[in-house]
Amino acid sequence: MILIYKNIELIKLLCKTHNVKRLYAFGSILTDQFNEESDIDLIVDFNDIELLDYADNYFDLKFSLEDSLKRPIDLIEEKAIKNPYFKRAIEKNKQLIYG
């Protein structure tokens, strides 16, 4: 999480710009297994966005985070998590970073 904390103001700005309601981190970034080659797993919940603007907003946020954090970002929309086992596993360790 050090990488997140070092860049928290920039992340907050990106979230405001991209109509993010909540942003969570999960996965290896929350553990001591996170290293220089690790990607960053994030879950996003957007405020209401026009359907026509949704894809542009989503990908612009993803690419802006990747450019800022210099890491690949796996950005999952919270509403898209349908697998109950995956959802439970995430719920156990996700950490709110915005919202």
User: Is the separation of the CB atoms in 93 and 1 below 8 Å?
Assistant: no
What letter would DSSP give residue 48?
Answer: P
At residue 37, φ and ψ (nearest 5 deg) are: -95, -5
Q: What is the pLDDT of residues 54-70, one digit of tens each?
A: 999 999 999 999 999 99
Gap between the Cα atoms of 3 and 65, Å rounded: 12
Choose among 33, 34, 30, 45: nearest CA to 94.
30
Number of H helices, E strands in the chain: 4, 4
pTM: 0.93
CB atoms within 10 A of CB 59: 11
- What's the whole-number average pLDDT of the chain? 96
* Confidence at 1, pLDDT banded by 50, 70, 90: confident
Q: What is the pLDDT of residues 26-63, one digit of tens each?
A: 999 999 999 999 999 999 999 998 888 999 999 999 99
Domains and CATH numbers, the chain: 1-98 (3.30.460.10)
